[in-house]
Amino acid sequence: MMEQRKYYNNDIKIKQAGYSHKYTKDEIMEMVRCSTDFIYFCLKYIKIVDQDKAQLIPFDFYDYQKRLYDTYNSSNRVIVLAPRQSGKSVFTIAYLLWYATFNELKNIVLVANKEKTAKKTLKKLKEMYKNLPFFMKQGVVEWNQMNISFENGSNIYAESTSSSGNRGDSVSILYIDEAAIISPNLWEEFYTSVYPTVAAIKSAKIILSSTPKGFNFFYNMWNLAKNGQSDFTPFRVYWNEIPGRDERYREKVINELGGGSRGLRKWKQEYECSFVGSGGSLIESDCLEKLNAGIILESRYDDSFRIYEYPIENKNYIVVCDVGEGNGGNGDYSTVQVFKIKTKEQLEQVAVYKNNEVKTNEFNLVIKLIGEYYNNALAIVESNTFGREILNRLVFDDSYDNVYYSYIADDYGIRMTKSSKSIGNSFLKTNIEKQRFLVQDYETINELSTYVKIRDSYGADKGQHDDLVTPLVILSYFLSDKRNIEDWINTDFSNESANLKRIEEELLPFGFICNGNTQVNIKEVAETNYYE
């Protein structure tokens, strides 16, 4: 009779599927206890590598990890915000190994931004498996760089966001580590395609964990979870919850990261989990973090138009437009920012349009449709370059009757010059930091975080865009001068006089600021309450 194979591929640390192990009474009791007590399983059987000593050591729980386990148990959607080297990843990998060991027919997917990183994550799980006692191990059917299959029918896959992977299979647990570093385009494509495989199972879990990296989609998901606006349960790990991290440690790390403001900025992102944008941005990160990303109620025009609030009867709206070339690829976007006049001192962003494929001979129709939808909103269009063509079509071909006309320039639209952009930037800083503009679109917030000083002006940081910021600069410039608002009110748009009076009462407090003076100091503006 042929002897049963005990080891997979002759590796004494990997149990072969089909091997009949003769369990002792104590081993059976241990299996039963471990199957219901993850903490006990980890403390007694999981070994991890101590990098300083280059040796295996027992897993030792931090207090926060016990709370995190309770969160994993009680919620099927968890988002974890944690500092660098805090043990969140190794803890979660141990949890996934335990889950696959003691549950049948489960599919677990480990996701990273790159295939190499995904393989490394799976390798750590494999090492944990190898260091379990033999009786505790599931028999292995398949064991390679990208997946493990156990004889109980459970599988653990490693995937990158750029791979097609196992998206046709139902997923029991989807774990995405360092989610914030995944590029937005890859994230959108991956999450959209893999989400249905998780949603198909009521008990399936999604676990996202990361240290922040700017105001991107991870910021948006964290913000929604924190404000109770999504199904995700937020879990935050603070830097000083890790043993040995005290004020002395903090000072040491800041110095090693470059010291001064540079080191402090890096510390805040990597250890305090602040959503920090580019260095030298027009808007301070602390102010951007106070902005609450909203829930998208609906997306239209092939997802180019995001609606955060539907139009309200008798409310006044402004649509501000920046015209791109419509070349697609990495080219500039044509954008529309829609603001509601909320109070005398606040405008609220309610919708955003962004598309880099819409042609200049079509963009005017987009503006008209959006403007009409939002109560025949005032349309402010930059008149530079392609803007002139858009304005002519909007006014003379489409007969949209609420396009801003400047009596000062005796022309439609606003022409942005170096000096007017400087004024717009100055007042945009004030409008955001003093919460006079309530911005809730996370892409806009992200662009604001990378809108930086470039020589004697501001623009998008390298590799970034500022197409959603430009309309805010235009709007800030428009509101900086009382004469612009008076031009709007004094123009006959076939509106009732009561409506015009309401516009005057709502918007004029914004104006009467610089009165045409092009010399504006950003710091002075930011410290001035120009509504008083």
- pLDDT, residue 195, reads 84
Asked if 309 and 327 sit in the same domain, the reply is yes
User: Does 195 lie in the same domain as 228?
Assistant: yes
Q: Is residue 531 part of a domain?
A: no
121 and 71, same domain (yes or no):
yes
State which H helix or E strand residue 458 sits in: strand 457-460
Phi, psi angles (nearest 5°) of residue 143? -150, 105
In a domain, 205, yes or no: yes
The pLDDT assigned to 2 comes to 41
Residues 71 and 159 in one domain: yes
pLDDT of the chain, 532 residues: tens digit per residue: 345 689 999 999 999 999 999 999 999 999 999 999 999 999 999 998 776 667 888 888 899 999 999 999 999 999 999 999 999 999 999 999 999 999 999 999 999 989 999 999 999 999 999 999 999 999 999 999 999 999 999 999 999 887 555 556 789 999 999 999 998 878 888 888 888 888 888 889 999 999 998 888 999 999 999 999 999 999 999 999 999 999 999 999 999 999 998 899 899 999 999 988 777 789 988 888 888 889 999 999 988 999 999 999 999 999 999 998 777 776 789 999 999 999 888 999 999 999 999 998 999 999 999 999 999 999 999 998 889 999 999 999 999 999 999 888 889 999 999 999 999 999 999 999 999 999 999 999 999 999 999 988 899 998 899 999 999 999 999 998 887 777 766 654 444 455 556 666 666 666 544 544 445 555 554 454 443 3
- 230 with 272, same domain: the answer is no
Distance, first Cα to last Cα, the chain? 96
220 with 442: CB under 8 angstroms? yes
1 assigned to some structural domain: no
What is the CATH classification number for the domain harbouring 122?
A: 3.40.50.300
Enclosing domain of residue 21: 8-241
At residue 284, the pLDDT reads 86
Enclosing H/E stretch for 40: helix 38-45
Of the three residues 259, 289, 319, the one that is the final residue of a domain is 289
Please check whether residues 419 and 319 belong to one and the same domain: yes
Please check whether residue 451 lies inside any domain of the structure.
Answer: yes
124 in the same domain as 90: yes
> Is 532 part of a structural domain of the chain?
no
For every residue of 162-222, DSSP letters joined together read TS-TTTTS--SEEEEETGGGS-HHHHHHHHHHHHHHHHTSTT-EEEEEE---SSSHHHHHH
Neighbouring C-beta atoms of residue 271, cutoff 10 Å: 24
Residue 330, domain member (yes or no): yes
Q: What's 382's domain CATH number?
A: 3.30.420.240
103 phi and psi angles, rounded to 5 deg = -135, 140
Neighbours of 268 (CB within 10 A): 18
Residues 458 and 424 in one domain: yes
Between CA 187 and CA 192, with CA 189 as vertex, the angle to 5 degrees is 95
Residues 307, 278: one domain? no
Q: What is the pLDDT of residue 167?
A: 55
Q: Which of 402, 450, 418 is nearest to 520 (CA)?
A: 418
Is residue 473 one of the residues assigned to a domain?
Answer: yes
At 320-367, the pLDDT tens digits run 999 987 777 767 899 999 999 998 889 999 999 999 999 989 999 999
DSSP bridge partners of 55: 50
Same domain, 341 and 229: no
| Within a domain: 2 | no
* Listed residue (355, 357, 229, 368) closest to 299, CA to CA: 355
Helices and strands: H and E segment counts in the chain: 18, 21
The number of domains in the chain is 3
Residue 189 and residue 50 in one domain: yes
The reply to whether 85 and 179 lie within a common domain is yes
Pair 395, 412: CB distance under 8 Å: yes
